Every structure is written in structure tokens, then in C-alpha cells.
Amino acid sequence: MRILDLISGPMVWFSFICFFCGTLYQVIVFYTLSKPRPRHPQERPRPHLGLKKEPEILDRTSLSYRFAMFRLTVFGRDPGMMIMTTIFHVTLILTPFVVLGHNILLDLAVGISFPSLLEVATDLLTLAVLACCLFFLFRRLLVPTVRAITTPSDLLMLLIVAAPFLTGFLAYHQIGNYDIMVLAHMASGEIMIMALPFTRFIHMIYFFINRFILIHENTLGKGGSRVWR
Amino acid sequence: MTTQNKPDIDILKIREILCEKKKEVAVSLKTCAHCALCADSCFLYRCRDNAPLYMPSHKFINSIGTLYKKKGKVTRAELEEIREIVWKRCVLCTRCYCPLGIDIPSLIALARRICRSQDVVHDFEKEKKG
């Protein structure tokens, strides 16, 4: 079997199986490491005490209060990084689904496809991902706080993320050897998908766990249901 | 008692404590994206001119992270360094915030427990005398 057949055939399925099984495993690990807890135990109704609620001194609905609170959030403290990281993560996840080439292959393979964007639009999305990767690279090398905890593995992670987008862009524009670029694009994409649940990329899973399941002051949705053991 | 007079490090005891929370430590170390967004949530970091040494992630990576990666095989000097991190650079106020949900205070507390098990503790009397 040629290496191209292996990478474009069984390896695709293997990488997706690794991704889904790994994600499931990590979710199970989280549930074993955490325990359920009622949301606001201190706010249980206690009518027998007949306590009246104290009047609020602060107007928590005012714009100035909300702005002051916003400035205390991670977004308020570091807006540049947060805007870049939001653009990066949204484009990183969205782009592979809306690339016309991917959807044609998906349609041929399993008969389903996602809506595709214009090729020029996906090109821009790809460039956005690459620009964000460069931003993170410079942030890692230049910002003292980030540099203090940067290890070679962080740079490797960045390379793993950037590689499928860079090779995909080069292959589409036929820059360099097309066959090698396509092969490198598929291989690097599969490596990234396989690495997601088993490496530092599991922050993808833990971001949602933290925001929707763990109980803390910034939990979204219903306020969370679990705490760490 | 000086450092030189103290007995050797009981690696087995450290491993025993680490094993109790092995999974938690492993998941936390793996989840940490090294984004440094936790920095501003530490009042010590902000009081000490934004010195990276006071960043919550820096503290847990270099304390419990070191112990975990070395599987408890640390020297007394290394443990003394960890003591500096977990007592002098952290007051366990539990106000640090990780955008990915890592329970940093519990990891620092675990590192303190390991230090205590080896008789490496913060000497408040000595600190007072300077």
C-alpha cells in the first residue's frame, strides 16, 4: 500500500476514532476526579428564619458597575490576548468544516457535507489562523510571564496546530511540490486530531468543563454541578 | 536544625502522597496551556511588580510539577526550593483563577504536604528575625 493511500484512507478513520475515544476517556476521567455538589447551598430557602433580604448598596444593573466588573475579568485584564485567542480558536475549529475541498471529499466518502464558504473566504480564515499562531509564538518569546513557563513542547504544540493550515494553504495555491504538500497536509491534520485528547490540547475539553460543569463564580449556563474532589 | 543535619529524603513517602493524587496532578499539568492568563488573579504577582515567579501557573508547575515529573526523586535542596515557592510565594488565599479550571490551590497544598512529610517547612520564627 502506498503511503498516500494509508494516510488518506485508514489513518483518517484511525485518527477520528482516537479523537472520539480519547475525548470520551478524558470526560470519564474528569467525572472520576470530581464530585457532584448542589449549586448554591447557601441560598437554600429558609422560610422558618423569616430573614428579610438586605437592601443593595450597589446598583448592580448600572453600566458603570458592569464595566468595572468587566475590567476585572480575564477579558478586561488582557483584551488583546483574549480577542486574538477567540479569533484563533473560532477560526481553527470552523475553517476545516467550511473548506470546499474537505466537503467534496466528505460527500464522496460518506455522502454528507457541511455548508462551504467561498474559497477566498476560507483562504482568509486560514491566514487568520496562521497570523494568530505567529501572534502566540511572539507572545511566547517576548512576554516575560509567558516566557517563564514556556517549554519546547509549547512550541511543538504551536507547530502541530499551524502545520495543517500552512500545508493546506500551500497545497491549494500549488506553492512547492503539490503531492508532498497534500501528503503533509493530511498527515499533519491527522497528527493534530490524534493529539487533541492526549496532549496539552485537552484544554479544548477542559475549557467547556470549566465553563459549564465546574462550580465557580464564572460558570456559565445553569451554574455548574460539580467540584473537584 | 540545618539542612545538612537532616536525614535523606524519603522518596517512597513522597511517592505515596503523590500516588494519592496522581491523576489530578497529571490532568492539571496536561490541561495547563501555559497561557499565563492566571497571572493577574494573584495579588502577590501584582504586588511584586508582575514578577513571573509569582504567577500561579509558574508556582504549581515548579512545585508539584517538578515533584511529579521527577517521580518524587528530588534532593533536599530542590525540596527547599519548592518550600520557597509554596510558602513564600503563595499564601493559599485560593483566589487564583485558571480559565481552564485547574484547581491550583489544591496542587500547592499537596506540594506543602509533601514538603511537610520531609520536615521541610517554612520557619516563621526565622522569617521574623530576618
8 Å CB contact between B115 and B121:
yes
Torsion angle, alpha carbons of B63, B67, B68, B73, to 10? 170
8 Å CB contact between B102 and B28:
yes
The set of cell numbers assigned to A213 is 460543569
Closest Cβ–Cβ partner in B34, B100, B106 for A228: B106
The set of cell numbers assigned to B60 is 504549581
Tens-digit pLDDT profile for residues A177-207: 999 999 999 999 999 999 999 999 999 999 9
pTM, full prediction: 0.86
Residues of B in contact with A210 (CB under 8 A): 98-101
The set of cell numbers assigned to B43 is 495579588
- Chain B touched by A30 (CB under 8 Å): yes
Residue type, B36: A
Tens-digit pLDDT profile for residues B14-26: 999 999 999 999 9
- Determine, yes or no, domain membership for B26: yes
- Chain A touched by B57 (CB under 8 Å): yes
Tens-digit pLDDT profile for residues B29-71: 999 999 999 999 999 999 999 999 999 999 999 999 999 999 9
Number of domains in chain B: 1
Quote ipTM for the complex. 0.86
- Determine, yes or no, domain membership for B33: yes
- Determine, yes or no, domain membership for B3: no
Q: Do B100 and A207 touch (CB under 8 A)?
A: yes
Residue A96 has pLDDT above 50, yes or no: yes
Q: Do A74 and B40 touch (CB under 8 A)?
A: yes
The set of cell numbers assigned to A218 is 464564572
- Determine, yes or no, domain membership for B130: no
Residue B24 belongs to domain spanning: 11-120
- Chain A touched by B103 (CB under 8 Å): yes
Q: How far is CA A17 from CA A12, A160, A190, B103, in A?
A: 9, 19, 11, 30
Cα–chain center distance at A9: 26
- Closest approach of A90 to chain B, Cα-based (Å): 17
Angle value at C-alpha A173, between A90 and A130, nearest 5 degrees: 30
Tens-digit pLDDT profile for residues A61-87: 888 888 888 888 888 888 999 999 999
- Determine, yes or no, domain membership for B45: yes
8 Å CB contact between A83 and A117:
no
Q: Do B100 and A199 touch (CB under 8 A)?
A: no
**H runs (alpha helix) in A73-213:** 74-77, 79-98, 100-110, 119-142, 144-149, 152-172, 178-195, 203-212
8 Å CB contact between B80 and B120:
yes
The set of cell numbers assigned to B62 is 515548579
Residues of B in contact with A229 (CB under 8 A): 24
- Closest approach of A25 to chain B, Cα-based (Å): 12
8 Å CB contact between A176 and A170:
yes
Residues of A in contact with B102 (CB under 8 A): 206
- Closest approach of B127 to chain A, Cα-based (Å): 27
- Determine, yes or no, domain membership for B70: yes
Angle value at C-alpha A20, between A17 and A25, nearest 5 degrees: 115
Residues of B in contact with A84 (CB under 8 A): none
The set of cell numbers assigned to B37 is 492568563
- Chain B touched by A58 (CB under 8 Å): no
- Determine, yes or no, domain membership for B2: no
8 Å CB contact between B59 and B39:
no
- Chain B touched by A81 (CB under 8 Å): yes
